[in-house]
Amino acid sequence: MNKTEVQSIGQQAETWALHYLQQQGLKLVARNFYCHNGEIDLILKDKEELVFAEVRYRRQKSHGTGIETVNGVKQRKIIRSAEYYLYNQKLWDHPCRFDVVGVSVDEVMKVEINWEKNAFDANCYM
């Protein structure tokens, strides 16, 4: 697969994840927020809490689930990007959490979504 195909699949996985999270009652705030620290796939609102969501697509579960691929390095990048977002939006003390949404497609092309709320904690890296 070339880079364009991978990006297209990634965007489709984000769209599936977004629709799923919206069905669960979350509201989209921003998609693909970029800054010098990195990117946040989805920023949503869950009642009064901001949710910074990382979406991970896996074609083959034998290589681990999408959720398992968000290692410490990736977590720190997401946290730093979230700090940047919160600072620039003047939301210094706003309640927030970090979720990971794993997206996969099974043998019969059925989309599977695995949502882990509070997948990691920003305090671990402060």
With a cut of 80, say whether residue 9 has pLDDT above it. Answer: no
Q: What is the pLDDT of residue 108?
A: 74
Q: Are 113 and 66 in contact (CB under 8 A)?
A: no
φ and ψ at residue 5, rounded to 5 degrees: -65, -40
Q: What is the pLDDT of residue 126?
A: 45
- pTM for this prediction: 0.88
Q: Residue 29 carries which side chain, given as an amino acid letter?
A: V
Summarize the confidence of residues 46-55 as an average pLDDT: 96
Domain ranges of the chain: 3-121
pLDDT in tens, 73-113: 999 999 999 999 999 999 988 999 999 999 987 777 788 89
Q: Are 18 and 42 in contact (CB under 8 A)?
A: yes
CATH number given to 3-121 = 3.40.1350.10
